[in-house]
Structure 1
Amino acid sequence: MFALLDAFNNGANDVANAWATSVSSRSISYRGAMVCATVFELLGALTVGARTADTIKNGIIPPSTFQGNAGVQMLAFTCALAGASSWVMWCTRNSAHVSSTYSLISAVAGVGVATAGARNVQWGWNNGKGLGAIFAGLAMAPVCAAAFGAIIFGLIRTIVHVRKNPVPWAVWTAPFFFLVAGTVCALSIVYKGSPNLGLDKRPPWFIASVSVGTGVGLAILSAIFFVPWLHAKVIKKDQNVKGWQVLTGPALWATPYATGDAVAKVPDYSVIQHGPESARNSTDDISVDDEKIMVEQVAEIRPLKTQKELNQEADERVYAKLRQNKGAIGWAMRYLHDHPMGQGAIYETHNLKRAVQRIPAMVVVAALYGMHYDIHTAQAGIEGTPEGNRMERVYSHATKYPNEVEHTYSFIQLITACTASFAHGANDVGNAVAPWAVIYSAWSTGDAAKSKLPVATWQIAVVALTIVAGFVFYGYNIMRVMGNKLTYHSPSRGTSMELGAAITILVFSQYKLPVSTSMCITGATVGVGVLGGYKAVNWQRVGLLVLSWIVTIPIAGMLAGIPMAIILNAPRFGI
Structure 2
Amino acid sequence: MSNDSGDSRHLETLDRDLHRLSYLESATSYVARPMVGPGVALIFIVLAGLMAAIFFGQDSNGMIVVVAAGFGAYMAINIGANDVANNMGPAVGANALTMGGAIAIAAVFESAGALIAGGDVVSTIAKGIIEPESMVTAEIFIWAMLAALLSSALWVNLATWVGAPVSTTHSVVGGVMGAGIAAAGFTAVNWPTMSAIAASWVISPVLGGGIAALFLWFIKANIIYTPDKIAAARKWVPVLVGIMAGTFAAYLALKGLKHLMRVSLGLALSIGVGVAIVTWLGMIPVIRKQSEGLENRNKSLKVLFGIPLVVSAALLSFAHGANDVANAVGPLAAIVQASQSGDFTQAVSIPTWVMIIGAFGISFGLFLFGPKLIRMVGSQITKLNPMRAYCVALSAAITVIVASWLGLPVSSTHIAVGGVFGVGFFREWDAERRLRLARGNMPDENRIAPEERRRRKLVRRSHFMTIVAAWVITVPAAAIMSAVLFFGIQAVVG
TM-score (norm. length: structure 2)? 0.74
The 1-side partners of 2:355 and 2:401 are apart by 18
SS of the equivalent of 1:8 reads helix
Question: What's 1:90 paired with?
Answer: 158
Q: Quote the offset at 1:163 in angstroms.
A: 0.6
Question: What's 1:462 paired with?
Answer: 357
Q: Quote the offset at 1:571 in angstroms.
A: 10
The 1-side partners of 2:284 and 2:72 are apart by 46
Change in Cα spacing, 1:176 to 1:43, as seen in structure 2 (3 Å) is farther
Q: Is the 8 A contact 2:89 2:377 kept in 1?
A: yes
Q: Among residues 101, 120, 124, which one is paired with 2:169 in the alignment? A: 101
Matches within 5 A, 1:479-494: 479-494=374-389
Aligned: 1:27 with 2:102: no
Q: Is the 8 A contact 2:103 2:367 kept in 1?
A: yes
Question: What's 1:543 paired with?
Answer: 465
SS of the equivalent of 2:395 reads helix
Question: What's 1:6 paired with?
Answer: 75
Change in Cα spacing, 1:221 to 1:181, as seen in structure 2 (3 Å) is same
Q: Quote the offset at 1:438 in angstroms.
A: 0.6
Q: Among residues 278, 281, 285, which one is paired with 1:220 in the alignment? A: 281
Question: What's 1:310 paired with?
Answer: none
The 1-side partners of 2:358 and 2:404 are apart by 18
Q: Quote the offset at 1:437 in angstroms.
A: 1.4
Question: What's 2:125 paired with?
Answer: 56
Change in Cα spacing, 1:86 to 1:32, as seen in structure 2 (3 Å) is same
Q: Greater shift after overlay, 551-560 or 24-33?
A: 551-560
Q: Among residues 185, 191, 195, which one is paired with 1:132 in the alignment? A: 195
Higher relative contact order (CA 8 A, sep 6+): 1
Change in Cα spacing, 1:194 to 1:484, as seen in structure 2 (3 Å) is closer
The residue identity in structure 2 corresponding to 1:481 is M
- Paired residues in the alignment total 398
Change in Cα spacing, 1:138 to 1:426, as seen in structure 2 (3 Å) is farther
SS of the equivalent of 1:173 reads helix
Question: What's 1:449 paired with?
Answer: 345
Question: What's 2:448 paired with?
Answer: none
Q: Deviations over 1:384-409 (max 9, x none)?
A: xxxxxxxxxxxxxxxxx721112211
Question: What's 1:403 paired with?
Answer: 299
Q: Quote the offset at 1:47 in angstroms.
A: 5.7
TM-score (norm. length: structure 1)? 0.64
Change in Cα spacing, 1:456 to 1:515, as seen in structure 2 (3 Å) is farther
Q: Quote the offset at 1:36 in angstroms.
A: 2.3
Question: What's 2:210 paired with?
Answer: 147
Q: Quote the offset at 1:457 in angstroms.
A: 5.2
- In terms of fraction of residues, the more helix-rich structure is 2
RMSD of equivalent CA atoms: 2.6
Change in Cα spacing, 1:154 to 1:419, as seen in structure 2 (3 Å) is farther
Question: What's 2:236 paired with?
Answer: 173
Q: Quote the offset at 1:58 in angstroms.
A: 0.8
Q: Deviations over 1:202-226 (max 9, x none)?
A: x83x5444322222222233223x2
Q: Quote the offset at 1:542 in angstroms.
A: 1.0
SS of the equivalent of 1:531 reads helix
The 1-side partners of 2:419 and 2:121 are apart by 22
Question: What's 1:474 paired with?
Answer: 369
Q: Quote the offset at 1:511 in angstroms.
A: 6.8
The residue identity in structure 2 corresponding to 1:100 is T
Change in Cα spacing, 1:52 to 1:430, as seen in structure 2 (3 Å) is farther
SS of the equivalent of 2:360 reads helix
Q: Is the 8 A contact 1:51 1:512 kept in 2?
A: no
Aligned: 1:555 with 2:451: no
The 1-side partners of 2:88 and 2:115 are apart by 20
Q: Quote the offset at 1:193 in angstroms.
A: 6.4
The 2-side partners of 1:110 and 1:78 are apart by 12
Q: Is the 8 A contact 2:121 2:348 kept in 1?
A: no
Change in Cα spacing, 1:190 to 1:18, as seen in structure 2 (3 Å) is closer
Q: Quote the offset at 1:491 in angstroms.
A: 0.5
Q: Is the 8 A contact 1:13 1:475 kept in 2?
A: yes
Structure 2's unaligned 5+ residue stretches are: 1-69, 430-456
The 2-side partners of 1:188 and 1:544 are apart by 30
Question: What's 2:37 paired with?
Answer: none
Aligned: 1:530 with 2:453: no
The 2-side partners of 1:199 and 1:571 are apart by 42
Structure 1's unaligned 5+ residue stretches are: 236-263, 265-400
Change in Cα spacing, 1:77 to 1:182, as seen in structure 2 (3 Å) is same
Q: Quote the offset at 1:486 in angstroms.
A: 1.8
Change in Cα spacing, 1:180 to 1:518, as seen in structure 2 (3 Å) is same
